[in-house]
A and B are shown apart, each in its own frame.
Chain A
Amino acid sequence: MDLVDKVQSGSIRGIARTISLIENNSPQKEDIIDELYPHTGNAMVWGITGPPGAGKSTLVDCLVKRERKQGRRVAVIAIDPSSPYSGGAILGDRVRMQKHSTDEGVYIRSMASRGHLGGLSVATGDAVKILDAAGYETIIIETIGVGQTEVEIIELCDIVLLVLVPGMGDEIQAMKAGVMEVGDIFVINKKDRDGADRLKTEVEYVLGIKNALTGEKPNPVLLASSKLDEGIDELVEAIHDYLKKAQATGRFEEKRRVRIEKEVHKIFSSKVHELLNIHLDIENNLGEWISSILNGETAPYKLIKSKLNRFVKENEII
């Protein structure tokens, strides 16, 4: 297949087109992903998450610069929300990374959160595979860390950086919301601001409680300023250090196992869903079903059970 070759040869147009196919949930996408699949598994996937205004894009820009210095090819996927009203979106994260735009070793792609029938996390996961097969060694996913979808995206990553800034008032919120669970490394960005040290102490305290319960070693909490490009070398070192250790301890393999498990689950349920949708012709029958429930002729569980039973019998599945 043409596109598959193009992706593997690193053609930017080919890669970009293929990601669009994924985003638009094109029927071709499944074959393409399967064909590329054997060539994946080489890239390290970094997740950068945190509240809006935490300086994530600028931080990604700094990280890209460091990875390029090491000679690694880098791809960035920046995810922004779509408008719930129009479905449109303004994708502006790459503004802060534009100086890499003409560097051939860097690929940046903006994705809007909506418009993915298979789910945003599935689309992102497939985009990662495409970039992986195209030979990008470091893949960075940038996303706002709120909501279930976002957590699912974060689960695609080998390492997750949670970016917090002092003085936003939502740092404690973030901790409550359980986002603390997903971070492997914690970055206190804009360290030149008042309250950075205090925030670091607070985060360390919360992590201390968590680690006391699990018995794990404390996660690194680092101060940085992406704007002033300070503390970034230490951060990159911590990232690579973490990845190396994760590989040595088997944690890395375990993460990938869990990821595949979840992916298989997702594909399985979406396929089953799709299949039954077609066979039961839900689109046309749903109205009738609702009426029969409203009329008191049947009840929701009863109705679905009977439909499924009939489907199983008719197709002689059992």
Chain B
Amino acid sequence: MAKAVRILVAKPGLDGHDRGAKYIARALKDAGYEVIYTGIRQTPESIVVTAIQEDVDFVGLSLLSGAHNELFPKVVELLREKDASDIIVFGGGVIPTEDIPFLKEKGIEAVFTQGTPIKEITDFIEKRLEK
């Protein structure tokens, strides 16, 4: 059996709109991945510790409040500090297109805005695993 791919789906910040995060979690499970879901209001610190303890391959961040430019890069930064920059970070939610280049520059490898089909996300995951 192939190695199980583990993904942390996390909601940083304070917004409680978890419809998207829960949909992604469930769809990724249906796609055969092991998904760790930790609920709303997670700080970047706790997301990073969780990612490391759970030895995940990916961290998917979901945020709808507009705090993505502050909180997404913070997660990448903390992963680097903890010598875990091999964990791949992607994000989604209400993210204006004009913010995406900034987020990518900060190490968020992919940004999926609302309405992205799940296939695009699983394609990203599979492609990234091949590397």
Interface-lining segment among B22-30, B60-68, B97-105, B113-121: B22-30
Most B CB within 10 A of own CB, among A82, A87, A117: A87
Beyond A17-B55, A19-B55, is A88–B35 a contact (Cβ under 8 Å)? Answer: yes
User: Which chain A residues border B52 with CB–CB below 8 Å?
Assistant: 12-13, 16
Interface positions, chain B 19-41, Cβ under 8 Å from A, are 25-26, 28-39
User: Which chain A residues border B46 with CB–CB below 8 Å?
Assistant: 98, 101-102
**A positions within 8 Å CB-CB of B:** 12-13, 16-17, 19-20, 23-25, 82-83, 85-92, 94-95, 98, 101-102, 107-110, 112, 115, 117
Whether A90 lies near B1 (C-beta < 8 A) is: no
Contact of A88 among B29, B37, B82 (CB under 8 A): B29
Shortest B130–chain A CB gap in Å is: 17
Contact of A95 among B28, B33, B39 (CB under 8 A): B39
Interface flags, B70-104, vs A, CB<8A=1, else 0? 00000000000011100000000000000000000
Whether B29 lies near A16 (C-beta < 8 A) is: no
Whether A98 lies near B82 (C-beta < 8 A) is: no
**B positions within 8 Å CB-CB of A:** 1, 3-4, 6, 25-26, 28-39, 42-43, 45-46, 49-50, 52-55, 82-84
- A117 to B84: give the CA distance in the assembly, Å: 28
Shortest A209–chain B CB gap in Å is: 42
Main secondary structure of the interface of B (DSSP, over half): mixed
Whether B38 lies near A88 (C-beta < 8 A) is: no
Nearest neighbor of A95 in chain B, beta-carbon distance: B39
Nearest neighbor of B28 in chain A, beta-carbon distance: A88
Beyond A88-B31, A88-B34, A110-B36, is A16–B53 a contact (Cβ under 8 Å)? Answer: yes
A-B contact pairs, 6 of them (CB 8 A): A13-B83, A20-B55, A86-B32, A90-B29, A94-B38, A101-B50
Whether B36 lies near A94 (C-beta < 8 A) is: yes
User: Which chain B residues border A83 with CB–CB below 8 Å?
Assistant: 29-30
Whether A90 lies near B4 (C-beta < 8 A) is: no
Whether B39 lies near A86 (C-beta < 8 A) is: no
User: Which chain B residues border A117 with CB–CB below 8 Å?
Assistant: 1
Shortest B81–chain A CB gap in Å is: 12
Most B CB within 10 A of own CB, among A24, A88, A115: A88
- A23 to B2: give the CA distance in the assembly, Å: 11
Please name 5 further chain A to chain B contacts, defined as beta carbons within 8 Å, in addition to the given A12-B49, A95-B39, sorted by A numbering: A16-B55, A88-B29, A94-B38, A98-B42, A102-B45
List the 4 shortest-distance A-B pairs measured between CB atoms, nearest first.
Answer: A16-B55, A88-B29, A101-B46, A95-B39
Whether B30 lies near A108 (C-beta < 8 A) is: no
Whether B39 lies near A98 (C-beta < 8 A) is: yes
Shortest A76–chain B CB gap in Å is: 10
Shortest A112–chain B CB gap in Å is: 5
Contact of A110 among B42, B43, B54 (CB under 8 A): B54
Beyond A13-B82, A20-B55, A23-B4, is A88–B32 a contact (Cβ under 8 Å)? Answer: yes
User: Which chain B residues border A95 with CB–CB below 8 Å?
Assistant: 37-39
- A115 to B45: give the CA distance in the assembly, Å: 29
User: Which chain B residues border A89 with CB–CB below 8 Å?
Assistant: 29, 34-35
Shortest B8–chain A CB gap in Å is: 9
User: Which chain B residues border A20 with CB–CB below 8 Å?
Assistant: 3, 6, 55
Contact of B53 among A23, A24, A107 (CB under 8 A): A107
- A177 to B94: give the CA distance in the assembly, Å: 49
Whether A88 lies near B49 (C-beta < 8 A) is: no
User: Which chain B residues border A92 with CB–CB below 8 Å?
Assistant: 36-39
- A101 to B50: give the CA distance in the assembly, Å: 7
User: Which chain A residues border B53 with CB–CB below 8 Å?
Assistant: 12, 16, 101, 107-109
User: Which chain B residues border A17 with CB–CB below 8 Å?
Assistant: 55
Nearest neighbor of A86 in chain B, beta-carbon distance: B32
Contact of B1 among A13, A25, A94, A98 (CB under 8 A): A25
